[in-house]
Structure 1
């Protein structure tokens, strides 16, 4: 640890006893909130004189500063649950907000933030489960549960990085995604000799931590911990801090003396917090419907397509791949109309009005990883059902992404790619009622591709190299050199997944799934400029959760009737929560998407 020591600080004993000390900067004045197992919550001024007290028995707390006062979430030592209180500057008093019960396992850590004007509460219990709640309109809505392991002693939410920080007394500091739609992926920051961490504090994107095994305060910066040694013999267990008069004002609990202390020190310039550009989002859209779930848990739902029925637009159909079991068809309310158990189909696309000598057809194509074929389906508008027409052989080893191209000459192609970067272009023909194909072109992508979309009007193919970039290729000129129009980084985070086109006021835009940060990027097809990113948030009143880790998506900018006058966006939801269920697809009004584009173009 010696190489990382940046200063030495002198702890000052705090005159009020408790289990946790939280310094607060309120209206440019310094206050302290003492959390006590015997006296409750005590708010003091800078001189450590009590301003107000709420009787109770609380082990720890977290505080959210608002324009009118404070919101405090406190662990109740008597009930082992969480109680939330509001403190207002106007009357200098605490009032109860709500309670989150512990259930059968004691709650041992709690943290609080505000997301989209909703209170976001996270708890960790004695069984090693992290639960995330949205608190609104007198409702406590359980959003997700993650098994994090036992030993979580403290919790903080860093809104600048979008991370939940859990202090693990056994191994170190865990970092989880704060999104209620996120999975259970995590990163671990360890201390020397694998010492455990019991206290963590966050303020304006900066993180501090303490361990009873290290007599110092750690400042976390880019996964490196710089230490400020504290004089004396201490076993620090909790930490909270604020910025005041260009100093860090730190509140600490020492288990050795069972006392509270403050420490003041100047932060080094390199410890200034950094905002994660990937965490920024320009807007939130809301789904109006969701489909029935796929049959099995795990990564199953993948890619949607829209089958538009011009004679009855409101009866149009959504096709969705279930890569564990087949192809599903849904109506615009999300109800399943049909399931085809055809194997592990990964991507699907639809084209209508394909004119052949045998008639005009609506067809779908899907990449089938079970049979290593391109599966062709005939779509019957009268019954709103699909039937298998052909299984086209491919030279690819692992069929993956797929999209279709219907040229202005009436030629219909299927482009299908392999996880190794190879791409085949199949030209479809119908002879004697049988659909066949020939491979008319092949090309490669430097690394794994998947999502693609073809512009039938311009002949341009947009396709993603998942970890790297978005490419464009001229399908009408196979000798033309493809080029990169966007790269991973900043607001666009790998994997680059689903792609679609959407028209607004006569202009065309490319929509892509930025899977790594649960966002969607919108690009102009004219100059390939990124207009911005949006996410899809939950509608708790309707019981529809938000969306995360989207694989495939599809959009169509035509009227589907009075409810959807400007089109439809359909996206795969990687984590179907509220409550946790198998994956499904979410439906978003094209009017919301069009409004976003008009605002940011």
Structure 2
């Protein structure tokens, strides 16, 4: 049978019975617009056409392909090899400044409107080079990507934040479109010998709850999404009747554009998206590429709200110190430090008051102490051995007497609690108690107000126990993985407000942060994500290892406190990892917390 899908072009539209004007049957690409109009691309122009087929506006361009969202189109200028955004409004079409040159020929381009309603463009080269841009004036490069070669078509499902790319001769792939994603891909359907899709994939259209694509023979396939898998619902080699649910999938044939004949029912809507808060600032990137930045801790200046310091570990180099503007003030090359914590105004004998930071040193399986002076200057004070074989996470506990305990853990689940001592000006450590969890832990935080110790077991959840080393260790699982909390369970901190105290936990598996009461019954108050601040050119956060939070009244926007989190993927543009600063007031507003 001769395939009727001779051109690699598909259109998904929500128009009910919108008749395609005859003048548009020769268009290379087509999109239905709200209100009954059409956007069409031919060899000479991008055209705005009303429901009767009358042209209302045009942008002269030898366009290779285009994509459209409400009020916006993106067309590839094949002569200039530039992507051109086009605004669509009641007055017509308005070409905006083209995106900067990519350095490659653009084979495929598509739009993405994210959960913040920010518009992005994906631009893909023949050899698999790809870029994601944040649209605006000016447009800004978000990240570089490595996609398959020979991709001529792409589309994004905004609801699922999924980028679909069609690899000629091989198949259809799904990527996470969110800028903070790591770039992993999942096959939707592949050609032999890996699957049954004939000669790979061509044009793509997003459907409610799924995706449709042409194979290399012009047969239309449609798949319904179920998590990270896709189940084929139809394969149509010829024209059929209109779609159910009022949606239509159109295909261009040798006779022009017509209904593809795919019966498709929309899937149930997704769960409500988590609220998004924006960072107010970010630190300078760490001085090592790859997975380097890990955990922050906050030091509060006793007199100057603007004088606080952020201590951050670089697990390939040492300890970094930043001010509240994110500027690096110090680098202490102390080796492979992992977690860091701070306690201030500690008592070590008569008249001896010090501020200390503690970090785990993974090459030496040791505790490293750092002294912090009244101006926030940090210097190494001691290295204290442990008996752990693979030291990992850590936190500090200020005892009721004003002394200090260091709690450290091992990847094998062991915890050790050391009493920090000071004799003749020299620091020491005495083991006070040991215990273990069943699998790998990392993050922990002690709450001196309640005497509770919170511990994260990465794959299982959040545990709580008495922080006092003189009391029995009887951990209770208060927030298991599942629901809002996704493994790995990573960094955590406690915020002390006027009306309540809350634990903030990094839910690394879905790039979010869970907030729960710091006292029994440890009620979960919600979760949030940290998004892009386009105005400040600060990217969002992902795969957060460590965090810290304070309710201290700091300077600038941090009058009700500050949350600092590690960012696993630095974007806008790509670069070494860093730390993001979030005003607690923004978190409280997003989750409707009290003061």
Q: TM-score range by the shorter chain?
A: 0.7 to 0.9
Q: What SS does structure 1 have at the residue aligned with 2:392?
A: strand
Q: Which residue of 2 aligns with 1:211?
A: 215
* CA apart distance, 1:266: 2.3
Task: Work out whether residues 298 and 309 of structure 2, in 8 Å CA contact, stay in contact via their aligned partners in 1.
Answer: yes
Give yes or no for contact 2:277–2:587 (8 Å, CA) kept in 1. Answer: no
- Mark the CA change 1:350 to 1:258 in structure 2 (over 3 Å): closer, same or farther: farther
Closer, same or farther: CA 570–421 of 1 in aligned 2, 3 Å: same
Aligned to 2:68: 63
Task: Give the superposed CA RMSD.
Answer: 2.9
2:236 paired with 1:230: yes
8 Å contact 1:302–1:321 — kept in the other structure?
yes
Distance in 1, Cα, partners of 2:466 & 2:245: 57
User: Is 1:266 paired with 2:271?
Assistant: no
Which has the higher mean CA deviation after the structures are superposed, 224-233 or 582-591? 224-233
Any residues of structure 2 matched to 1:318-397 within 5 Å, and which?
318-357=310-349, 359-382=352-375, 384-397=376-389
Pair 1:584–1:433, CA change in 2 (3 A): same
Counterpart in the other structure of 1:508: 501
CA contact (8 A) 2:244 2:263 kept: no
Q: What TM-score do you get using the length of structure 1 for normalisation? A: 0.86
Confirm or deny: 8 A CA contact 1:20 1:252 kept in the other structure.
no
* Stretch deviating more after TM superposition (388-397 or 454-463): 388-397
1:544-583 alignment runs, 5 A limit = 544-561=538-555, 563-583=557-577
Q: Structure 1 residues 32-41 or 363-372, which shifts more?
A: 32-41
2:219 is paired with a residue whose SS is strand
Deviation at 1:500, TM superposition (A): 0.6
Cα deviation for residue 101 of structure 1 reads 4.4
Report 1:160-559 matches (<5 A). 160-193=159-192, 194=194, 195=197, 196-213=200-217, 215-222=219-226, 223-232=229-238, 246-253=245-252, 257=254, 260-267=257-264, 272=267, 275=270, 280-287=273-280, 289-357=281-349, 359-382=352-375, 384-476=376-468, 478-479=471-472, 481-526=474-519, 527-559=521-553
1:477-501 Cα distance to aligned partner (Å, 9 max, x none): 7435322222333433322211011
CA 1:575–1:246: 2 relative to 1, 3 Å? same
How far 1:325 sits from its partner (Å)? Answer: 0.4
Deviation string for 1:185-239 (max 9, x for gaps)?
33233325144222222144432222124623222322233242324499xxxxx
The alpha carbon displacement at 1:20 in A equals: 2.8
Q: Is the 8 A contact 2:562 2:582 kept in 1?
A: yes
SS of 1:565's partner is coil
Contact 1:392 1:436 in 2 (8 A): yes
How far apart in 2 are the matches of 1:506 and 1:14? 63
Distance 1:26 1:511 in 2: 43
Deviates more, 1:576-585 or 1:507-516: 576-585
Structure number with higher strand proportion: 1
Q: Deviations along 1:538-586, whole A, 9 cap, x unmatched?
A: 3333333322222111111011246532222111121222222211112
Q: Deviations over 1:400-452 (max 9, x none)?
A: 11101112233421111111211111111112222211222222222221111
CA contact (8 A) 1:521 1:533 kept: yes
Partners in 1 of 2:230 and 2:537 — Cα distance? 41
Aligned length: 564
Partner of 1:19: 28
Residue aligned with 1:100, SS: coil
Taking a change above 3 Å as real, the CA distance of residues 535 and 130 of structure 1, as seen in their structure-2 partners, is same
How many angstroms apart in 1 are the aligned matches of 2:381 and 2:367? 11
Equivalent residue in structure 2 for 1:37, among 40, 43, 46 = 43
Q: Alpha-carbon deviations, 1:455-514, whole Å to 9, x = none?
A: 011111112122231111122374353222223334333222110111232310111112
Counterpart-to-counterpart distance in 1, 2:574 and 2:556: 32
Partner of 1:595, secondary structure, is helix
State the alpha-carbon separation in 2 of the partners of residues 148 and 97 from structure 1.
27
| CA–CA distance in structure 2, aligned partners of residues 452 and 460 of structure 1 | 11
Structure 1: tracts of 5 or more residues without a match: 1-10, 235-242
TM-score normalized with structure 2 length: 0.87
The answer for the alignment partner of 2:16 in structure 1 is: none
CA deviation digits over 1:504-532, x for unaligned, max 9? 32310111112222222211223322222
Match of 1:3? Answer: none
1:304 to partner: Cα distance: 0.5
Q: 1:73 to 1:438 in 2, by over 3 A?
A: same
Partner Cα separation in structure 2 for residue 431 and residue 226 of structure 1:
72
CA contact under 8 A between 1:376 and 1:390: conserved in structure 2?
yes
Residue 110 of structure 2 is aligned to residue 111 of structure 1? yes
